[in-house]
Amino acid sequence: MSYFFYKKQDTFLHRLDPRTKIVSLLLLFTIAAATREIYIQIVFMLSLIALFFASRSTGSLRRMGTLFGTIAFMTFILWLFFYDGRVKMFSAGPVVIYKGAFYFSALFALRFVNLLLSGLLFLSVASIEDFSDSLVLFGVPYGVAFTFSLSFRLVTVFATAGSAIVEAQKVRGNDPDRGGILSRIRSYVPLLIPLIINGIKKAEILTLALESKGFSPGNKINLKGKYKFTAYDALVICAMFALSAAAIAAALA
Amino acid sequence: MIELSALKYKYKNNLSYALNGVNLSINSGEKILIAGKNGAGKTTLSKILAGIIPLLEGHGAMEGEALYNSRPYSGYIYGELRGKISLLFQDFEGQIVSTTVKEELVFYPMNLGRTYGESLGAAKGLAADFGISGLLDRNIAELSGGEKQKTAILSLMTARPEILILDEPLTDLDPYSQEAALEMIKNFKGTLIVFEQSVDCYEYFDRILIMKDGALISGGGKETAGEVLSLDESGIGAPEIFRAAGGYFPSLKSACGAIEKNYIFDAEKYSRMSAEKISPAAIIQVKNLSFAYPGAPENALSGVSFEIKKGEFLAVVGANGSGKTTLMKIIAGIYPDFSGGEIYYNGVSIRRQMAPGRAGYVYQNPDNQIFSETVFDEIAFALRVKGAAESGVREKVNAIMKTFGLTDCSGADPFSLPKGDRQKVACASVLVTEPQVIILDEPTTGLDRNSYDALMEIIRDLNSRGRTIVAITHSMEAAAGFGDRILALSGGRVVYEGDKKKFFRDGALVKAANVKPTGLMEASMELNGNILLNYGEFAQCWRKK
Ligand SMILES: Nc1ncnc2c1ncn2[C@@H]1O[C@H](COP(=O)(O)OP(=O)(O)OP(=O)(O)O)[C@@H](O)[C@H]1O
Ligand SMILES: [Mg+2]
């Protein structure tokens, strides 16, 4: 019951060097963005899902599945109507669907989902510390790297505050998860204000907490010995580069 | 090393002084305990000693002098104190900044520029000393309250500061862990300043100071813990054993000697008092309950069976991480998906269908429970959810605010209150609807003697009006004060359910549950083999000669 996707585990994806994780994420994005073939996008999606299983992170998938599905569906519908082709296939009043719209809507929906899945996979196997440490290892100043990771921390702070409020209200007889989607939305709206106020307060405490533990943006930290870039990492990075090069080449051809 | 003279501090927008003339001089290497009741100014003083006020939080007005190494605190920049002075916030959960225990422990030293190897070495060493090596790879969000507090304490010690200041560091620790923590900070090579509500851990300190109304009013060596009258006056309360013996005694034997000299035991009273009461029917039956947190390798609860009797007052004890909170959250309907077993409420199984709200649950950490903008709204919430009329709501809320002494802060933001008051708000907001079963998760942490007595009075009153009360606690004095029955958990299993006297008398059982009898219990066993649970019982059975 943690409010973030990352969970400390011992799988080959979790064990990767944080630099490998972040470079792989960028390359996964590249593949998703470059690929124009639906069937490759489908294979890509299935491979991503397989990686969720391999890293024992299907929990994240379950939590976000419905949301991603909805997003994919909406993308599909939107592109169906907005796709601007040459040959009309169907028209009724102002609604026009052009030839090729189905293909492109499906492609865009898949591409979008694959981008989201890649991000989710990264969040499931890389901790906040992995993220800021990898930036530091790439030479980004600690203050800047940490500020980036701070936004993740704040998301956690807000999410934790949110679920705490929902739980606290449930105990006192107000169950916002009851009923259909509309009544749920209605009962979540009044939670927003306390959530924001609480979140801001907790964020303020977090700033003080960081300073009380020696943090300052100008600090330099010495990560030597924390991570080891292994042959295995090199292999993963090479494979990822090869795949994305292939994806780009295919897109240009 | 630290020199405070005639120090006054007033928070912005406040009329009264939080600190009102503090004089204190601290030498390098001293181990100091500062005890004071809620609102005495402990947290403010701790922040000033750490330089957080005025360097990071300077919104108030400071008068008088505060020097660190002969230089006023206000002349430093906070960065110069970094790594030299460390403060554990009273709100230790809010001070946690990392995702896993290991990251949290290396955070401070690494920010001081130490290498990862050195930082990790310090973390591992201290974790082993404290017996939490097994937690290093855990996610902090998934720890029990006490496990989080242990992490928070260690995350400061890994930086090896010169001065370590701890604002109520023991609140959520079980008795053995308290001892381990005290032992560890006693061996800490530096200056130590600990703030507490009581003087119970006097043994570990060279100097004990009593704080009242924003000033340090008295102090001395260990014998200060036996000054029953003056401690009572400061709203702190002496350890029960000293109350019984009439002053400070360095050992159990000598305290017993003093009792024997002055008092005579009334065996008849004792046997009448200790007769086992017939217990009423069960209101909640738990049968063979198992539960695992999603993704956790081990069960948090396994094969738990016990009963909560109608109208009883049940105390629940056990080590940190033994599953107390988990068990009670399941019973309260907060975690409805338990994997194995059954829970019956008045004979009816409540598997996956307990309407939450029937059993009231007061959180271990009040900050996880509070969400409204004013104290009034917070307390009124549960009534309003039930659709009560606003006039009735006002009446009930005002009444309970009065009993808790919260009337003055009715319109205040609950988060701005001191922790003890937040605890009271959290209790009031649940008790206001008078649920059939009231579960309190460590209700007494952060409360001083008087507030504690007042809360107990309210709870006893509800209990006498037929409400069933379950209270989790690490304070054996509190456990001894609650009702007749006790439930002890260890490693997610029940080790004992039943009469409290039988439990505390059985050394092996007490040990298996990882708890400890109080000094007074030990003394009464030592005296004549009978067990007296608290000072009330003592005063009944031992008459003055
Ligand atoms: N949200 C969670 N996710 C996963 N594991 C958890 C979670 N909360 C607690 N645990 C684990 O379950 C076990 C029981 O925890 P629980 O909070 O019930 O202990 P407790 O007896 O209340 O301890 P304490 O005295 O410290 O409050 C512990 O091992 C703890 O680490
Ligand atoms: Mg607990």
Reported in sequence order, the residue ranges of B173-214 that DSSP labels E, i.e. its strands, are: 191-196, 207-212
Residues of B in contact with A223 (CB under 8 A): 110, 116
* Among candidates B113, B361, B415 on the partner chain, residue whose Cβ is nearest the Cβ of A171: B361
Interface of B with A in 144-163 (CB under 8 A): 155-156, 159
Interface of B with A in 230-289 (CB under 8 A): none
pLDDT level of residue A179 (50, 70, 90 thresholds): low
The pLDDT of residue B372: 85
Q: What is the mean pLDDT of chain B?
A: 88
For residue B138, the Cα-to-chain-centroid distance in whole angstroms is 24
Interface of B with A in 27-56 (CB under 8 A): 50, 52, 56
> Which of these ranges, A59-68, B101-110, B192-201, B525-534, has the smallest mean pLDDT?
B525-534
- What atom of ligand 1 comes closest to residue B295's alpha carbon? 4
Query: Is A220 among the domain residues?
Result: no
- For residue B368, the 8-state DSSP code is G
Q: Which of B101, B143, B150 should be mutated for ligand 1, with most atoms under 8 A from CB?
A: B143
C-alpha to C-alpha distance for B39 and B418, rounded to whole angstroms: 7
On whether both A241 and A179 belong to a single domain, the answer is no
Cross-chain Cβ contact B295/A209 below 8 Å: no
First-residue to last-residue Cα distance in chain B:
50
C-alpha to C-alpha distance for B306 and B286, rounded to whole angstroms: 5
pLDDT at B492 over 90: yes
On whether both A104 and A159 belong to a single domain, the answer is no
Query: Is A64 among the domain residues?
Result: yes
On whether both A26 and A86 belong to a single domain, the answer is yes
Mean local confidence (pLDDT), B405-412: 88
Ligand number nearest to the C-alpha of B491:
1
On whether both A88 and A39 belong to a single domain, the answer is yes
On whether both A38 and A115 belong to a single domain, the answer is yes
Residues of B in contact with A173 (CB under 8 A): 355-357, 382, 385-386, 433
Query: Is A218 among the domain residues?
Result: no
First-residue to last-residue Cα distance in chain A:
47
Instruction: Inform me whether the C-beta atom of residue B118 falls under 8 Å from chain A C-beta atoms.
Output: no
The pLDDT of residue A95: 77
pLDDT level of residue A1 (50, 70, 90 thresholds): very low
Phi, psi for B35 (deg, rounded to 5): -110, 140
How many domains, chain A? Answer: 2
Instruction: Inform me whether the C-beta atom of residue B95 falls under 8 Å from chain A C-beta atoms.
Output: yes
On whether both A173 and A119 belong to a single domain, the answer is no
The pLDDT of residue B102: 94
- What atom of ligand 1 comes closest to residue B325's alpha carbon? 22
The pLDDT of residue B146: 92
The torsion region of residue B254 among left (phi > 0), alpha (psi -120 to 50) and beta comes to alpha
Could you tell me what percent of chain B has a pLDDT over 90?
Answer: 41
ipTM, 2 dp: 0.85
Best of B81, B95, B99 to disrupt the A interface (most A CBs within 10 Å) is B99
B325 CA → ligand 2 middle, Å:
4
Instruction: Inform me whether the C-beta atom of residue B116 falls under 8 Å from chain A C-beta atoms.
Output: yes
* Structural domain range at position A172: 142-212
Query: Is A24 among the domain residues?
Result: yes
Query: Is A46 among the domain residues?
Result: yes
On whether both A240 and A187 belong to a single domain, the answer is no
Which pair of structure tokens corresponds to residue B329? 């959250």
Q: Please give the model's pTM, rounded to 2 decimal places.
A: 0.88
Query: Is A3 among the domain residues?
Result: no
- What atom of ligand 1 comes closest to residue B474's alpha carbon? 25
C-alpha to C-alpha distance for B534 and B482, rounded to whole angstroms: 10
Query: Is A190 among the domain residues?
Result: yes
Query: Is A223 among the domain residues?
Result: no
Mean local confidence (pLDDT), B395-405: 90
**For residue A201, what is the nearest residue in chain B, using CA coordinates?**
B415
On whether both A73 and A109 belong to a single domain, the answer is yes
Could you tell me what percent of chain B has a pLDDT over 70?
Answer: 99
C-alpha to C-alpha distance for B323 and B329, rounded to whole angstroms: 10
The pLDDT of residue B461: 87
On whether both A96 and A179 belong to a single domain, the answer is no
Residues of A in contact with B91 (CB under 8 A): 205
- For residue B278, the 8-state DSSP code is P
Pocket of ligand 1, beta carbon within 6 A:
A 1; B 142-147, 172, 174, 293, 296, 300, 318, 320-326, 364
Annotated domain spans of chain B: 2-234, 370-434
Instruction: Note whether B21 and B214 are within 8 A (CB).
Output: yes
CB atoms within 10 A of CB B71: 10
Cross-chain Cβ contact A212/B87 below 8 Å: yes
The pLDDT of residue A246: 93
> Which of these ranges, A93-107, B209-223, B381-395, has the smallest mean pLDDT?
A93-107
On whether both A24 and A123 belong to a single domain, the answer is yes
On whether both A90 and A150 belong to a single domain, the answer is no
Strand pairing class (B2-10; B71-72): unpaired
pLDDT at B352 over 80: no
User: Long-range contacts for B72-79 (Cβ within 8 Å, ≥24 apart)?
Assistant: B73/B48, B76/B51, B78/A211, B78/B51, B78/B52, B79/A216
Residues of B in contact with A211 (CB under 8 A): 56, 78
The pLDDT of residue A164: 81
Question: Which amino acid appears at position B391 of this protein?
Answer: S
Superfamily of domain B2-234: P-loop containing nucleotide triphosphate hydrolases (3.40.50.300)
pLDDT level of residue B295 (50, 70, 90 thresholds): confident
On whether both A166 and A71 belong to a single domain, the answer is no
pLDDT digits (tens, 9 = 90+) for B457-486: 888 888 888 889 999 999 888 888 777 799
Nearest alpha carbon, ligand 1 atom 7: B142
Instruction: Inform me whether the C-beta atom of residue B434 falls under 8 Å from chain A C-beta atoms.
Output: no
pLDDT at A155 over 90: no
pLDDT at B73 over 70: yes
Cross-chain Cβ contact B113/A222 below 8 Å: yes
Using CA of residue B527, residue B529, residue B535, residue B540, what is the dihedral sign? negative
